[in-house]
């Protein structure tokens, strides 16, 4: 079946530090890949996506590249802000058991200090 593995959190950084959150996946087919962000008390919001190998998704200074050879989709940001503090979920969408069901990692909490 399909699965997504993310690095465990929390990740604690100072403002303007470089961020990497690792994500690797297992899929039976050729998935689309996503990063979502969840702020406290809210639902998940799509942050960025990539649909084929070597695609780079980017949004709000975040970016992630679809690496088929390493089955990875690591999230990066060059300079984090306090407002980036949230939980980040890596996800894929692929055929599994006969239907397409978005599959999520466990989430990685990011805490950014001033």
Partner 1 sequence: NAGVMQNPRHLVRRRGQEARLRCSPMKGHSHVYWYRQLPEEGLKFMVYLQKENIIDESGMPKERFSAEFPKEGPSILRIQQVVRGDSAAYFCASSPGEVTEAFFGQGTRLTVV
Residues that bind partner 1 (CB under 8 A): 31-32, 34, 36, 42-46, 49, 51, 89, 93-94, 97-107
8 vs 15 by CB, closer to partner 1:
8
The nearer residue to partner 1, 9 or 65, going by C-beta atoms, is 9
Strands (E), the chain: 3-6, 11-14, 19-21, 23-26, 32-38, 44-50, 56-59, 62-65, 75-77, 86-93, 95-96, 99-100, 103-104, 108-113
**Nearest to partner 1 of 52, 113 (CB atom):** 52
In angstroms, give the least distance from the CB of 8 to partner 1. Answer: 11
């Amino acid at each position: 079946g399909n699965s997504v593995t993310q690095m465990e959190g929390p990740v604690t950084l100072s403002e303007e530090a470089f961020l990497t959150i690792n994500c690797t996946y297992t899929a039976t087919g050729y998935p689309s890949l996503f990063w979502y962000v969840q702020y406290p008390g809210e639902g998940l919001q799509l942050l960025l996506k990539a649909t084929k190998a070597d695609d780079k998704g980017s949004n709000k200074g975040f970016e992630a590249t679809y690496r088929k050879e390493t089955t990875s989709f690591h999230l990066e940001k060059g300079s984090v802000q306090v407002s980036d503090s949230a939980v980040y979920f890596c996800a894929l969408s692929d055929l599994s058991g006969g239907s397409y069901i978005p599959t999520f990692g466990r989430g990685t909490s990011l805490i950014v200090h001033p």
